């Protein structure tokens, strides 16, 4: 959406959303809401340090590499948000208090305080809405091709929260449609060394989540939110290994719950 009638994103800014392998006919759509820690040039650094932007406050460390590896292994399209959750969180309803966080770690985010309605709307329109419109459009295209629109949302979480160590290696959360999620939980739990959380570290809530309730529950699609602990994704090779591992578990989960594994007729789209 850069260019055209864009007022926030400029010609030097990357697009708000990247769809890779759009025509891939794999059994799911992979998304990564918190793939990037970029900030539009017009917003500078939001008044934060480079270290803040590079930390988990800025993005989900390792999630983009993990999502890419999972999508490649599944032959699936993948949708990545192009901007930091500190600009606007694409997994929050826009009326949520932390859609545009005013503080991190008890400190103010200078670029996010005293925003007027127009500034909020620009971030919403040019980033949040552009990202979710791309997911919806991909789902419409796949529906016309007879492909399933099961959604796998890839995230990562911090090893320690509020001074407490989080024990799970991986957490699976879901909304009202939990068939694929429960099958994935069963597959992951086959590995006795893996600590697997259900609705951990966070449950999916309509008030604090967007992708699963809207693209999953409201549209009648299976939707799974996958969270992997960030210390397990500390380098790109580890993140890719996790993506490949999750893809294998997803394939078995899909087979187990007899979801249609999409094979598109040749030449369609
Ligand atoms: Zn996330």
CB 43 within 8 A of CB 100: no
DSSP state of 214: I
Ligand 1 geometric centre to CA of 267 (Å): 35
Q: How far is the CA of 208 from the centre of ligand 1 (A)?
A: 12
Q: How far is the CA of 82 from the centre of ligand 1 (A)?
A: 13
> What's the confidence (pLDDT) of residue 257?
82
Cα–Cα distance between 35 and 58 in angstroms, integer? 9
Rounded to the nearest whole angstrom, what is the distance from the C-alpha of residue 254 to the centroid of ligand 1?
A: 23
- Number of helices and strands in the chain (H, E): 7, 11
Query: How many CB atoms are closer than 10 A to CB 82?
Result: 22
> How many angstroms does the Cα of residue 227 sit away from the middle of ligand 1?
8
Q: How far is the CA of 154 from the centre of ligand 1 (A)?
A: 7
**Structure-block tokens of residue 121:** 């709307």
Contact 212, 91 (CB under 8 A): no
How far does the centroid of ligand 1 lie from the alpha carbon of residue 63, in Å? Answer: 8
Cα–ligand 1 centroid distance for 202 (angstroms): 11
Q: What is the pLDDT of residue 197?
A: 98
Domain ranges of the chain: 17-256
Q: With bands split at pLDDT 50, 70 and 90, how would you rate the model's confidence at 6?
A: confident
What's domain 17-256's superfamily in CATH? Zn-dependent exopeptidases (3.40.630.40)
Ligand 1 centroid from CA 58, angstroms: 10
Pair 36, 84: CB distance under 8 Å: yes
Please spell the DSSP secondary structure of 44-90, one letter per residue.
TTTT--HHHHHSTTTS-TTHHHHHHHHHHHHT--EEEE-S-TTT--T
The b/e string for 173-196 (b: 16+ C-beta within 10 A; e otherwise) is bbbebbbbbbbbbebbeeeeeebb
**In the structure, what pLDDT confidence band is assigned to residue 258 with cuts at 50, 70 and 90?**
low
The rounded Å distance from CA 110 to ligand 1 centre is 22
Q: Is 32 helix (H, G, I), strand (E, B) or coil?
A: strand
C-beta of residue 27 within 8 angstroms of C-beta of residue 76: yes
CA of 211 to the centre of ligand 1 (A): 11
**pLDDT tens per residue across span 192-248:** 999 999 999 999 999 999 999 999 999 999 999 999 999 999 999 999 999 999 999
- Tens-digit pLDDT profile for residues 43-101: 999 999 999 999 999 999 999 999 999 999 999 999 999 999 999 999 999 999 999 99
Which of helix, strand or coil describes residue 112?
helix
Dist. CA 152 → ligand 1 center (Å): 12
* Ligand 1 centre distance from Cα of residue 17 (Å): 16
Q: From the CA of 67, how far away is ligand 1's center (Å)?
A: 12
Centroid of ligand 1 to alpha carbon of 239 (angstroms):
15
Region 123-147: what's the mean pLDDT?
98
- Partner residues linked to 111 by β-bridges: none
Residue 244, sorted as left (phi over 0), alpha (psi -120 to 50) or beta, turns out to be alpha
> Cα of 156 to ligand 1 centre, how many Å?
6
**How many whole angstroms from 37 Cα to the centroid of ligand 1?**
12
Q: How far is the CA of 23 from the centre of ligand 1 (A)?
A: 25
Ligand 1 centroid distance, CA of 34 (Å): 5
User: Per-residue pLDDT averaged across 6-34, rounded?
Assistant: 96
What letter does residue 221 receive in the DSSP assignment?
Answer: -
Asked if pLDDT for residue 267 goes beyond 80, the answer is: no
Over the chain, what is the mean pLDDT? Answer: 94
């Amino acid at each position: 959406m850069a260019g055209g009638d864009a007022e926030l994103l400029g010609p030097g800014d990357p697009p708000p959303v990247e769809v890779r392998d759009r025509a891939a006919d794999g059994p799911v759509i992979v998304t990564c809401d918190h793939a990037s820690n970029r900030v539009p040039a017009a917003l500078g650094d939001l008044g934060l340090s480079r270290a803040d932007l590079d930390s988990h406050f800025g993005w989900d460390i390792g999630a983009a590499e993990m999502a890419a590896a999972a999508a490649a292994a599944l032959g699936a399209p993948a949708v990545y948000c192009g901007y930091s959750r500190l600009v606007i969180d694409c997994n929050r309803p826009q009326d949520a208090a932390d859609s545009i966080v005013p503080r991190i770690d008890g400190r103010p985010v200078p670029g996010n305080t005293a925003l007027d309605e127009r500034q909020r709307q620009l971030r919403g329109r040019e980033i949040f809405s552009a990202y979710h419109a791309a997911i919806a459009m991909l789902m419409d295209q796949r529906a016309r091709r007879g492909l399933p629109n099961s959604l796998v949302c890839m995230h990562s979480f911090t090893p320690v929260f509020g001074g407490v160590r989080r024990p799970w290696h991986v957490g699976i959360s879901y909304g009202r449609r939990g068939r694929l999620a429960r099958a994935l939980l069963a597959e992951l739990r086959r590995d006795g060394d893996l600590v697997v959380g259900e609705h951990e570290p966070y449950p999916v809530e309509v008030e604090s989540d967007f992708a699963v309730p809207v693209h999953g529950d409201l549209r009648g699609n299976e939707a799974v939110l996958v969270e992997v602990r960030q210390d397990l994704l500390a380098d790109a090779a580890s993140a890719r290994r996790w993506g490949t591992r999750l893809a294998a578990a997803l394939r078995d989960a899909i087979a187990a719950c007899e979801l249609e594994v999409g094979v598109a007729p040749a030449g369609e789209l």
